Structure 1
Amino acid sequence: MALSGKVSIEFGIKAANSQWFNLFHKNLNQIQNICERVHQAHVHEGDWHTIGSVKNWTFIIDGKLVKHKEKVEAIDESKKTLTWSFFDEDLGQQYKVFILTMEVNEKDNGSALCKCTIQYELVNENVEPPYAYLDFINKSSKHVR
């Protein structure tokens, strides 16, 4: 079994791509108020929006409370793309590398399509690829639409 790889999910959203992108880029602190699967989020270093900033998160993944840190790695406003790395605490016990990239593309009808890709490296062969995180993203996106 390969210890590294990529998994992704794509889904439609009922908002303009700029609205969706701005929520995750400029109003990420609101996610914990919108999504029931996000239990807690707070800034650890920096702020909510700047590259290099670090936040602490508590999610429900597969029915379990999961804690980790997240760092803003890249922001491309023209391409509506955001990249975060996740590490430490519960997540760090399973993944050496966990990078989430979200890309939002506008469709012709004014709605948008969101593609989320997770690049990962497992700590060992006993850890599953992060399919549960894709499920979390898919289910949580319904609260944000």
Structure 2
Amino acid sequence: MANRIDTLVASCPITCSVDKFYNFFKFSMNELVKVFPLAFTGVELLEGEEGTVGCVKGWNYVLGGIPLTAKVKMEVIDDAGKSLTFGVVEGDVLLLYKSFKATLNVSEGLAKWTFAFEKSSILTPPPELYIPLAITACTLVDAYLLIN
């Protein structure tokens, strides 16, 4: 199978400030365990410094009722464009995909996640369960930031 990167996009309206939302995902993603405990059961910094390119976090999460793990590296931080890119370097998602990256773009009133992935085979389904996960996470983070 030729190297082909496919993408899925999840967009969600937000009402809190762009900076507050962006900085949550840049510096405070460990708080997802508190904000969305049904999906995120553990997040820990494994390498590097929080909010910097190269930092690596270990994730425990539930997707479609299945507990999963991932080791995720912060690959790109674009403060001017309010964009963050995370790449999975180890974990369950790489059993189905040769590569898996998630990019968050935050703009006034909108958070957009783009999932870029390379299927391991022609039979591998697209990772569609990440769409409702991202939308629910963004909705809950937005509500959390409005009251905190």
TM-score, normalization by structure 1: 0.89
Equivalent runs, 1:73-88 vs 2, <5 Å: 73-88=75-90
1:102 is aligned, of 104, 119, 122, to 104
What's the offset of the Cα at 1:116? 0.7
For 2:62 and 2:95, locate their aligned partners in 1 and report how far apart those are by CA, in whole Å. 16
> Is the Cα–Cα contact under 8 Å of residues 83 and 100 in structure 1 kept in the other structure?
yes
For 2:72 and 2:44, locate their aligned partners in 1 and report how far apart those are by CA, in whole Å. 10
For 1:118 and 1:77, locate their aligned partners in 2 and report how far apart those are by CA, in whole Å. 20
Q: Deviation digits for residues 5-38 of structure 1, max 9, x if unmatched?
A: 1110111012111110010112222222211210
Report sequence identity in percent.
26
Equivalent runs, 1:130-141 vs 2, <5 Å: 130-141=127-138
For 1:63 and 1:43, locate their aligned partners in 2 and report how far apart those are by CA, in whole Å. 24
> Is the Cα–Cα contact under 8 Å of residues 28 and 48 in structure 1 kept in the other structure?
no
Q: Which runs of 5+ in 1 are unaligned?
A: 107-111
TM-score, normalization by structure 2: 0.88
**Alignment partner of 1:144 is 2:130:** no
**Alignment partner of 1:127 is 2:129:** no
What's the offset of the Cα at 1:71? 0.3
Aligned residues: 140
Name the structure 2 match of 1:70: 72
For 1:89 and 1:115, locate their aligned partners in 2 and report how far apart those are by CA, in whole Å. 24
> Is the Cα–Cα contact under 8 Å of residues 12 and 139 in structure 2 kept in the other structure?
no
Amino acid at match of 1:120: F
SS of 2:131's equivalent?
helix
SS of 2:19's equivalent?
helix
SS of 2:129's equivalent?
helix
Q: Deviation digits for residues 37-58 of structure 1, max 9, x if unmatched?
A: 1000111211321101111101
For 2:136 and 2:70, locate their aligned partners in 1 and report how far apart those are by CA, in whole Å. 19
> Is the Cα–Cα contact under 8 Å of residues 48 and 55 in structure 1 kept in the other structure?
no
